[in-house]
Structures are given as structure tokens and as C-alpha cells.
Amino acid sequence: MSKKLKNVLELTVIYGSILVMFVIILYPLLWTFGISLNPGTSMYGASMIPENWSFTHYVWLFTDPASNYLTWYKNTLIVAFSASLLSTIFVTLVAYAFSRYRFVGRKYGIYAFLLLQMFPVLMAMVAIYIILNLVGLLDSLLGLILVYVGGAIPMNAFLVKGYFDTIPRELDESAKIDGAGHFRILFQIMLPLAKPILAVVALFNFMAPFMDFILPRILLRSPENFTLALGLYNFVNAQFANNFTRFAAGAILIAIPIAIVFLALQRYLISGLTSGATKG
């Protein structure tokens, strides 16, 4: 086989694989968007390219007081931003402590983080429900935020610690010789170099409240406290209200804040990589 033919076959396989993945990802999105443009409420008879398409369902979500969509959107944004910010802060501090300090119980603490990831989250749902009920945070956004923040620490702290471990300790020692303290080393050396992994942690924890249904379903009871996943579920679950087209319209709009945050964090990924190359 000639080298030219081999290159052609490799490119064909690569682009073919990309095309297949593109179709797998894009096809459901196109169907969802097409269903959201259908004027009816039933999924049966709806087409991906409707003849009499309209934005009626999008208008209804934002203008009809009975939809509660804006309230659910606001609740989800509050939970997402709070969980993302607090998780990133706590994860950074915990990971920095485990990476740079030596203290009693450090080794067993790392093992505990690994052990906690071996059990499914559903096993803790009953305990979480009881604890939030005892402290009066059941059916509240604050209780939901605290659970998201606490649940994000073990795995993310382990990942960030591994990233911190790759940063040379000579940088810490040089900074200490120049009179820098622990917090100055953290904020001026470690954080700029760790922007890529911190951006990933922030993005994943921001996305979680938009995608999660089980936890809000267990902890939230009042419709005014619902998140988007829980609120949209009522469109297709409530009796005599199988509004699949409205559900599709509401689901499509979930992608907007996630895309915005991803684009905002993308430059931090790039700047973090270039900063690490410069300081390394």
C-alpha cells in the first residue's frame, strides 16, 4: 500500500468517525428544536421540519404567568452559579492543603475521597433528606446548593490535587525565599497555573443543576422553588398536561447559559496553559 493511499484511508476514517459522532449528537437536537416549533402540544404527529412552524411555545414560556418558567430559570441560575463558585473555592483550598502540606491523617483523607466515589449518590439520599429536614433547609435553594457543594468536593479535590502535584515545588520555595506566605503562593503562583483544571471544575459544577433531576425531586416540594429539570418534568407528567412541544422549547433554552459559561471559561483555559508554559 502506497503512502498516499494510506494517508487517504486514514483521513477517510477520521472524517467518517467525526461525521458519525456529529450526526449522533446533532440529530436529537434538531428533532427537539423542530418539535418545539410545532404548534400543537402532542409529540405524535410532530415533525422535525413543521409546515406551520411558530415560536408560540417560546413566547408562552416567557409571557404566561401560569408557566412559572422564568421562576424555574432564575432558581436554576442561582443554584448553578452558587454551586459553581463555592465548589471551586472549597475544592481549591482542600486540594492545595493535600498537595502542599503534610499533616496527620493526610493519607487516610485521600483514601476517604476515593472511597466516597465508590458508592452511588442514591445511597445518601435518605440521610441528606433527614439532615436537611432537621436543620430546616428542606424545600429550599440553600439546602440544594449545600448538597451540590458538599458532593462536588471529594472527586474534584482529588483531581485538582493531582494537578497541583504536577506544579514544581521549586516555585513555592523560590517564593518563600522572597518572603511570600502561603496565601500569596496560592493566589499568585498556584491558581494562575491551575486555571485549566479550575475552569473544568467550575464548568461541570455549573452544568450539574441544569441536568440533575433526582436530587431536586427529593428535596424540593414547592413549585416556586423548582429548578428547570424538575419544572419541565411537570409539562409531560402532570395529568391532562402532556405538553411535549412546550417541554422541548424549555429544554432547548437550557443550553444558552451553559454555552455562555463555556465560552467565558474557554479563554481561561487558554491563558492558564500559556501561563503554565511561561512560568514552567
C-alpha cell at 220: 424540593
Q: Please tell me the class of the 67-279 domain.
A: mainly alpha
Label each residue of 84-129 as H, E or C.
HHHHHHHHHHHHHHHHHCCCCCHHHHHHHHHHHCCCCHHHHHHHHH
Domain range summary for the chain, segments of one domain joined by +: 3-57, 67-279
Angle CA 164–166–167, to nearest 5:
70
What does the pLDDT look like over 12-49, one tens digit per residue? 889 899 899 888 888 888 888 888 888 776 666 666 67
Contact 203, 156 (CB under 8 A): no
Residues 197 and 31: their CA atoms lie apart, in Å, by 34
What does the pLDDT look like over 208-260, one tens digit per residue? 999 899 899 999 989 899 999 998 888 777 655 667 888 888 888 898 898 88
Count CB-CB contacts under 10 A for residue 200.
Answer: 17
Contact 97, 161 (CB under 8 A): no
What does the pLDDT look like over 50-70, one tens digit per residue? 777 788 888 888 888 778 899
With CA atoms as reference, report the closest residue to 213 among 198, 197, 193, 234.
Answer: 234
Q: Is the pLDDT of residue 122 over 80?
A: no
Residues 77 and 249: their CA atoms lie apart, in Å, by 18
Its pTM stands at 0.83
